[in-house]
Structure 1
Amino acid sequence: MKKLRILIYAAIMVFVLSAFKRDGVVTIFMIGDSTMANKSLKNGNLERGWGMALPCYFDDGIRVDNHAVNGRSSKSFIDEGRWQKVVEKIKPGDYVFIQFGHNDEKPKPDRHTEPGSTFDENLRKFVRETRDKGGIPVLFNCVVRRNFMKEPPKNDDDEALRNTTGMTKGQKPEDEGDILVDTHGDYRIAPMNVAKEMGVAFVDANKITHDLEQGLGREDSKKLHMWFYPGEEPSVPKGRQDNTHYNVYGAHVVARLLADAVTKEVPALKRHLLNYDISVASNGVGDYFSVQEAVDKAPEGKKTTIQLFPGEWEKPNIPEGKKVKFILRDGAKWKE
């Protein structure tokens, strides 16, 4: 009987390994909300989810398929059929990065779940059904909001942390202090509990981003977010004070931190981890859209590695004093 079990297990492993990407590529599926989601580039939009930037931090052996959508909770993601579409695509050896909480907190009945109850059960569903397809689930708790308010808003509502009217540059809001205040409560604890209960890899994105934003402080943490004074950014001429969503810079800072963190929890991903200084891509996943802009932004006198995503790229003019090295990913080449 023991030999039979060993043979059955061996047969299963052969099947899994043979199915484990005949093209040699593993897919990371991402499910979550606006803090993770891909964003439109219309009208020069600078908002990015950290999942949109994630491809910059893994090599061509990893394919990132980001299904995160603005405004979704674990409940609405399931109810709208979005999760089922992901399940149908999972192959043995694929990963599913799961991060909800921001919208589960909201009182709207089509989104709301309770930590320790319905929220946890939805997370368990994602884990079970990923494993049923031979996939590998990874649970993340939600990233922090930039909330230095002395009195947190009721319902931990994103909209209450925004003020699109803008402020005069240099003005200090009287309602802000120097300590980052949590707005997620038990929603940041639930994924940790489910991960422990089900033996799932867990990334404490809440602590990582808390330490990041608190370390930067009240003013410098604005640089991570869609936080602009009137006239500061052409794409939002009236200004925007959004303490939840990331700009290009913020998404890349967070994606780099979380990519590093997940490879510590999932060692099999470590060999795919990249840490180039600047990324250039035509689809908005990079830091810049053109090689020349990337070169112009590279610091003088410091070695800077610039990776180019698929496409034909104009060769840049490299000023004296710039020490740049280019890495061309699969499908990238210089224009003749």
Structure 2
Amino acid sequence: MKVVFACFLMLLSVQNYAQKTPSLYLIGDSTMADKRDPEENPEHGWGQMLPELMTDNIHIENHAVNGRSSKSFLSEGRWKTVHDKLKSGDFVIIQFGHNDQKFNSPDRYTNPFTGYRYNLGKYVKETREKGAIPILMSSIVRRNFNENGTLVDTHGEYPLVVRMVAKDLDVPFIDMQWLTEQLEVKYGEEESRNLHLHFAPGEVTYYVKRKDDDTHLSEKGATLVATLALQEIAKKDLPLKKYIKKSTLTKEIL
């Protein structure tokens, strides 16, 4: 009887801990997503690196998926999966844009000032309805240097709309476009290749052919981007700050 009672108390304690421990949910695209075979795959999403940079006092679930836009993430039921789990005190980081631009893909494309703006607002409002805290982020930049060595934007109006939604709905906003632009420029046109995926044929076993990808991140790039995001969250003194490791906050990146 004592053993049964002890087990009951232990189960109750675990349940209480789970209820008190907040969760951080990430929704977005491939630049944020977890990648398969992380020991072999050079590509990493920046959300994949957060468990190493945050404390164990928060539960992290990365629901970002390759190729998704603010539209397809909804239509595929992926947001419902997250929304059903949300509880008061949780956090949701929202970062879409790369695939909302794809006008040749009607299941993903959104007009920045209509569909995209509406979808971001929907994520924010439905997060708040559950008592959770939304955080909007603009997309990270692509490594897109012109012939003069100038980093050129590829996202058009989409980052502006994120700012508009954040202002209109009074949502915490992290300007990842600005932060990653500074990162790319600091590293320069050549060295910034190391933040992304540039490999000669056979240089890594994961890629048979030559790889030149200026959108997605290497492990180094993903770690730096994730660190920048968390440092900016801390600078804005958002509630998520207390779950960031001190060692993360003291790293000099820019």
Q: TM-score range by the shorter chain?
A: 0.7 to 0.9
CA deviation profile, 1:156-203 (whole Å, cap 9, x unmatched): xxxxxxxxxxxxxxxxxxxx4311100001111111110000000000
Which whole-Å CA distance do the structure 2 matches of 1:142 and 1:42 have between them?
23
**Cα distance, 1:223 vs structure 2:** 0.3
The answer to whether the Cα contact below 8 Å between 2:38 and 2:44 also exists between their aligned partners in 1 is: no
Alignment RMSD: 1.9
The structure with the largest helix share of the pair is 2
Aligned residues: 233
Larger radius of gyration: 1
Match in the other structure for 1:168: none
2:195 to 224, 249, 252: 224
**Cα distance, 1:240 vs structure 2:** 0.4
Query: For residues 21 and 123 of structure 1, do their structure 2 counterparts lie closer, same or farther at Cα, with a shift above 3 Å needed?
Result: farther
- Aligned-partner SS, 1:47: coil
Q: Does 1:104 align with 2:122?
A: no
Match in the other structure for 1:138: 135
Match in the other structure for 1:38: 34
The answer to whether the Cα contact below 8 Å between 1:20 and 1:91 also exists between their aligned partners in 2 is: no
Match in the other structure for 2:49: 53
Amino acid at match of 2:228: L
Query: For residues 32 and 266 of structure 1, do their structure 2 counterparts lie closer, same or farther at Cα, with a shift above 3 Å needed?
Result: farther
The answer to whether the Cα contact below 8 Å between 2:202 and 2:208 also exists between their aligned partners in 1 is: yes
Which whole-Å CA distance do the structure 2 matches of 1:119 and 1:256 have between them?
27
**Cα distance, 1:221 vs structure 2:** 0.5
Query: For residues 242 and 21 of structure 1, do their structure 2 counterparts lie closer, same or farther at Cα, with a shift above 3 Å needed?
Result: same
Match in the other structure for 2:72: 76
User: 1:1-336, aligned counterparts within 5 Å?
Assistant: 23-41=19-37, 44-107=40-103, 108-148=105-145, 150=146, 176-276=147-247
Which whole-Å CA distance do the structure 1 matches of 2:164 and 2:237 have between them?
18
- Aligned-partner SS, 2:136: strand
The structure with the largest strand share of the pair is 1
Which whole-Å CA distance do the structure 2 matches of 1:114 and 1:98 have between them?
18
Query: For residues 199 and 233 of structure 1, do their structure 2 counterparts lie closer, same or farther at Cα, with a shift above 3 Å needed?
Result: same
Amino acid at match of 2:79: W
Which whole-Å CA distance do the structure 2 matches of 1:87 and 1:194 have between them?
20
- Bigger drift between 219-228 and 235-244 goes to 235-244
Q: Mind listing any 5+ residue stretches in structure 1 that lack a counterpart?
A: 1-18, 151-175, 278-336
Give the percent of matched residue pairs that are identical in Structure 1 and Structure 2.
46
Match in the other structure for 1:288: none
Q: Which of 1 and 2 has higher RCO (CA within 8 Å, sep 6+)? A: 2
- Aligned-partner SS, 2:27: strand
Query: For residues 42 and 223 of structure 1, do their structure 2 counterparts lie closer, same or farther at Cα, with a shift above 3 Å needed?
Result: closer
Which whole-Å CA distance do the structure 2 matches of 1:229 and 1:64 have between them?
35
Which whole-Å CA distance do the structure 2 matches of 1:103 and 1:141 have between them?
13
Query: For residues 140 and 21 of structure 1, do their structure 2 counterparts lie closer, same or farther at Cα, with a shift above 3 Å needed?
Result: farther
Amino acid at match of 1:51: G
CA deviation profile, 1:243-292 (whole Å, cap 9, x unmatched): 00011111101111111112223432222211548xxxxxxxxxxxxxxx
- Aligned-partner SS, 2:113: coil
- Aligned-partner SS, 2:109: coil
Which aligned segments of 4 or more residues in structure 1 are displaced greater than 3 angstroms? 19-24
TM-score (structure 2 length as normaliser): 0.87
